[in-house]
């Protein structure tokens, strides 16, 4: 993989640093979404995260020896966030990055920034930290200037030393002149991009060396003194309940320290992990269960989505008088299977009780919302619960990390003072984690004789895309699975569908194209037979993939090149820029797709996908080259080219890592990943039944980053999946002239489309 960074200071439609929508993937523990979306008042407006956490010393602290510590509620889940936060702080404070200590995701020490999700870490968390550090630097410089009786502008800062008039003091000495225990100043000024020397550079990732050399960095590696191992006896189905169970034989098994039963929650604590697992398996099989109803009552998931009761709501609509009659009209339905996080390292947590208080170590993406729901499930005040983030192996969404935290806390309560570690097996993770929702998208649209869109109707059927602990799932219940099985159970919170512009099921359903008449309608199922929640991009991936497939079909019907159709129907110059750059990189030759072409044994084609994530964040265009074996239906993605605009890139290499990682994940989603369920539980629980892409099938990737120095930074973690998936889908269409309409595009589905 190789990439380039291009600098472009072209000023176009700007972005605010305020909070632009907080539904769907972002869960804010302090529940201030409505306030954050209000029009800015006169005068400076503090970043949203600072409005929620206004104390300056909650973001930055300086000790008498000049050591600098910064605090962030954002957490590291493999995306390089903490490296970027270090760069941001170093830039604003004028301190070498390696001399800054970064503390993140600790409910006893850091600001409450909700959940690290929705590509908001840099956009919201980074802007808040930068503002606080800029305030701290200005405050220290002003204090020294007053002491030396000079103007602040005559002083400079070099690596934490304030210098001027032949004198120098370090930040520690300067901090002794003034208090940082006060609210952040709304008037603090960040450095302009022209003066930045650390932001905008590819500073080495601070978390990578320990991972490469096998140091203890993941929660799975923690081994505190006196630690015991826990395992959960899982029911045979989601709705199953214990009828009877004999705990005595389990307590007598080798190494078992304690057996826990609370209603239908069954668990074992042992001296060794294999002992805990063996005892839990025997406990599960020896218990008598009522399995409850089967999933979907004999229907497949798509029949269920269409026929089961659900809420229908039109959430976006534009109407205009027609200037030309449509030359063609098209309608198509697309479907996507349930898909999993399939984290390579399954979920893990540790918990330890000391008297009435419990400390939980978790790789959750939201330590503060998790604390709220742990307190509910444990029937204890929030003040008695501390959650400390430890890195996991990544998941990008709501996997089992929060659920396993409650498992560990419930078991640890039975052995006060002893840390208890619970590490789910991969099969356990796959069966019991929340899955990404299956979806149906129906598109209907029209185009005039000049190739311009006149009508665009987008309907989406979906289960919830966020049932995380926290406000997006409501505060009326508990969104931790084991809480539902207790003798005094807590029901799950009512899942809500996030509204635009952030969106959830309808994320990226509003077209980026200029159709005069538009309508977006959601068909939302609040009740979910299979628990669903946030999978990277929420509904944005499939909505945008479907829209891009549909546009290529319209272009084919009109006999037009798909790239020219896109350029004719967008007005955003930044969208056009990434599209033109990706197309140029790929060597795209303008040509319409030929439907019904004669098939050779191998067909090759190029496809394009374009998206602006959530219609307000990063711009990404992807071109794919694929080869299709027309006998077997196998698809090989040979190359991917991408162009990305994230505004000001804090760490160009970090942005490209996110973009290219998302493209690889999208390739896997698009071609092979799908859940399989029966008899009341998910059955695709290993890498045979639920494979993910391997190194041999990873395409060659070439990427370019358009770095706009005059634009605010926006997130990149979820920007490339949809355009990559769409480019692959459209390349298959271009190669064969046949459209596959259900993801993933398995060999069987591709072969069936070719034979139709």
Domain 222-291+341-432 classified CATH 3.30.460.10? no
Residue 529: pLDDT band by 50, 70, 90 thresholds? confident
pLDDT in tens, 622-658: 999 999 999 999 999 999 999 999 999 999 999 999 9
Q: How far apart are CA 116 and CA 124, in angstroms?
A: 10
Distance of CA 369 to the CA centre of its chain: 16
Give pTM, 2 decimals.
Answer: 0.92
pLDDT in tens, 335-377: 999 999 999 899 999 999 999 999 999 999 999 999 999 999 9
User: For the residues of 314-347, what is the DSSP string, one character each?
Assistant: EEEEE----SS--SEEEEEEEEE--B----SS--
Q: What is the pLDDT of residue 395?
A: 81
User: For the residues of 553-618, what is the DSSP string, one character each?
Assistant: HHHHHHT--HHHHHHHT---HHHHHHHHHHHHHHT-------TTPPPPSEEEEEEEEEEEGGGTS-
Topology classification of domain 15-212 = Aldehyde Oxidoreductase; domain 4 (3.30.365)
Task: Provide CB contacts within 8 A for 59, sequence distance 6+.
Answer: 50, 53, 70, 71, 72, 111, 128, 129, 132, 133, 136, 184
- Model confidence at 549: pLDDT above 70: yes
Buried b (16+ CB within 10 A) or exposed e, 4-40: ebeeeeeeeeeeebbbbbbbbbbbbbbebbeebbeee
- Model confidence at 531: pLDDT above 70: yes
Q: What is the pLDDT of residue 42?
A: 53
Of 1 and 479, more confident: 479
User: If you average pLDDT over residues 3-18, what whole number do you get?
Assistant: 42
Q: How far apart are CA 225 and CA 274, in angstroms?
A: 19
User: If you average pLDDT over residues 83-112, what whole number do you get?
Assistant: 97
What string of H, E and C letters represents the secondary structure of 365-399?
Answer: CCHHHHHHHHHHHHCCCHHHEEEEECECCCCCECC
Q: What is the pLDDT of residue 34?
A: 30
pLDDT in tens, 280-318: 999 999 999 999 888 776 789 999 999 999 999 999 999
Residue 554: pLDDT band by 50, 70, 90 thresholds? very high
Q: What is the pLDDT of residue 259?
A: 98
Of 21 and 678, more confident: 678
From 68, 134, 121, 62, select the one nearest 98 (Cα to Cα): 68
β-strand partners of 61: 69
From 363, 361, 432, 439, select the one nearest 401 (Cα to Cα): 363
Of 3 and 519, more confident: 519
pLDDT in tens, 423-443: 999 999 999 999 999 999 999
- Model confidence at 574: pLDDT above 70: yes
Averaged pLDDT of the chain: 91
- Model confidence at 8: pLDDT above 80: no
Q: Return phi, psi of residue 354, to 5°.
A: -130, 100
Q: How large a percentage of the chain has pLDDT more than 70?
A: 93
Q: Do domains 15-212 and 439-465+504-755 have the same CATH topology?
A: yes
Residue 10: pLDDT band by 50, 70, 90 thresholds? very low
Of 28 and 668, more confident: 668
DSSP symbol at 737: S
What string of H, E and C letters represents the secondary structure of 484-548?
Answer: HHCCCCCCCCCCCCCCCCCCCCCCCCCCCCCCCEEEEEEEECCCCCCCECCECCCCHHHHHHHHH
- Model confidence at 40: pLDDT above 60: no
- Model confidence at 678: pLDDT above 90: no
- What are the boundaries of each domain within the chain? 15-212, 222-291+341-432, 439-465+504-755
- Contact at 8 Å (CB) between 301 and 439? no
Of 467 and 298, more confident: 467
CATH classification number, 439-465+504-755, choose in 1.10.472.10, 3.30.70.420, 3.40.50.2300, 3.30.365.10: 3.30.365.10
Residue 325: pLDDT band by 50, 70, 90 thresholds? confident
- Model confidence at 99: pLDDT above 90: yes
Q: What is the pLDDT of residue 41?
A: 46
DSSP symbol at 132: H
Task: Provide CB contacts within 8 A for 600, sequence distance 6+.
Answer: 630
């Amino acid at each position: 993989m190789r990439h380039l960074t291009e600098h472009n200071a072209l000023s176009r439609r700007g972005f605010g640093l305020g909070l632009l929508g907080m539904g769907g993937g972002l869960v804010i523990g302090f529940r201030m979404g409505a306030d954050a979306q209000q029009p800015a008042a006169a005068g400076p407006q503090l970043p949203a995260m600072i409005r929620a956490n206004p104390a300056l010393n909650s973001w930055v602290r300086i000790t008498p020896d000049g050591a600098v510590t910064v605090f962030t509620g954002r957490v590291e889940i493999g995306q390089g966030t903490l490296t970027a936060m270090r760069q941001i702080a170093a830039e604003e404070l004028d301190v070498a990055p390696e001399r800054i200590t970064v503390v993140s995701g600790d409910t006893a020490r850091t600001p409450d920034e909700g959940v690290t999700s929705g590509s908001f870490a840099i956009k919201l968390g980074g802007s808040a930290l930068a503002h606080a550090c800029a305030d701290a630097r200005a405050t220290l410089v002003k204090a020294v200037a007053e002491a030396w009786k000079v103007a602040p502008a005559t002083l400079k800062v070099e690596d934490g030393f304030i210098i001027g008039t032949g004198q120098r003091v370090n930040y520690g000495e300067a901090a002794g002149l003034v208090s940082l225990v006060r609210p952040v100043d709304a008037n603090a000024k960040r450095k302009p991009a022209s003066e930045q020397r650390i932001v905008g550079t590819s500073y080495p990732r601070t978390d990578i060396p320990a991972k490469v050399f096998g140091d203890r960095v993941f929660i799975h590696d923690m081994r505190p003194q006196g630690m015991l191992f826990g395992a959960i006896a899982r029911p045979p189905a989601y709705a199953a309940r214990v009828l009877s169970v004999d705990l005595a034989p389990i307590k007598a098994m080798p190494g078992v320290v304690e057996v826990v039963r609370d209603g239908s929650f069954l668990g074992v604590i042992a001296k060794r992990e294999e002992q805990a697992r063996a005892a839990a398996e025997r406990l599960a099989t020896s218990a008598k269960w009522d399995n409850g109803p089967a999933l979907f009552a004999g229907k497949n998931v798509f029949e269920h989505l269409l026929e089961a009761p659900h809420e229908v709501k039109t959430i976006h609509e534009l109407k205009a008088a027609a200037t030309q009659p449509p030359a063609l009209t098209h309608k198509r339905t697309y479907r996507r299977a349930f898909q999993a996080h399939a984290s390579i390292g399954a979920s893990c947590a540790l918990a330890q009780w000391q008297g009435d208080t419990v400390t939980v170590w978790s790789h959750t993406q939201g330590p503060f919302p998790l604390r709220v729901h742990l307190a509910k499930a444990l029937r204890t005040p929030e003040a008695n619960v501390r959650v400390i983030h430890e890195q996991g192996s990544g998941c990008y969404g709501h996997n089992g990390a929060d659920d396993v935290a409650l498992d560990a806390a419930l078991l640890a309560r039975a052995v006060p003072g002893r840390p208890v570690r619970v590490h789910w097996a991969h099969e356990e993770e796959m069966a019991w984690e929340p899955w990404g929702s299956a979806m149906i998208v129906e598109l209907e649209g029209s185009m005039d004789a000049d190739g311009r869109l006149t009508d665009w109707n987008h309907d989406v059927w979906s289960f919830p895309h966020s049932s995380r602990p926290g406000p997006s799932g409501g505060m009326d219940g508990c969104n931790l699975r084991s809480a539902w099985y207790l003798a005094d159970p807590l029901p799950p919170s009512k899942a809500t569908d996030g509204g635009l512009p952030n969106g959830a099921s309808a994320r990226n359903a509003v077209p980026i194209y200029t159709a005069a008449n538009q309508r977006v309608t959601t068909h939302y199922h609040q009740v979910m037979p299979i628990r669903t929640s946030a999978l990277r991009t929420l509904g944005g991936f499939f909505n945008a993939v479907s829209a891009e497939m549909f546009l290529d079909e319209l272009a084919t019907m009109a006999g037009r090149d798909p790239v020219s159709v896109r350029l004719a129907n967008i007005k955003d110059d930044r969208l056009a820029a990434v599209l033109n750059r990706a197309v140029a990189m790929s060597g795209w030759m303008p040509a319409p797709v030929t439907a019904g072409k004669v098939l050779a044994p191998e067909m090759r084609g190029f496809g394009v996908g374009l998206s602006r994530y959530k219609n307000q964040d990063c711009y990404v265009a992807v071109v794919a080259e694929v080869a299709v074996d027309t006998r077997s239906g196998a698809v090989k993605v040979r190359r991917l080219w991408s162009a990305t605009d994230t505004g000001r890139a804090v760490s160009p290499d970090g942005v490209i890592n996110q973009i290219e990682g998302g493209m690889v994940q999208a390739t896997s989603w698009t071609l092979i990943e799908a859940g399989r369920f029966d008899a009341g539980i998910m059955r695709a629980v290993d890498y045979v039944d639920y494979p993910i892409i391997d190194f041999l099938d990873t395409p060659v990737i070439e990427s370019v980053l358009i770095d706009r120095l005059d634009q605010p930074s926006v997130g990149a973690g979820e920007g490339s999946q949809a355009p990559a998936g769409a480019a692959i889908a459209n390349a298959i269409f271009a190669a064969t002239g046949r459209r596959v309409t259900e993801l993933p595009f398995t060999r069987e589905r591709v072969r069936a489309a070719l034979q139709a």
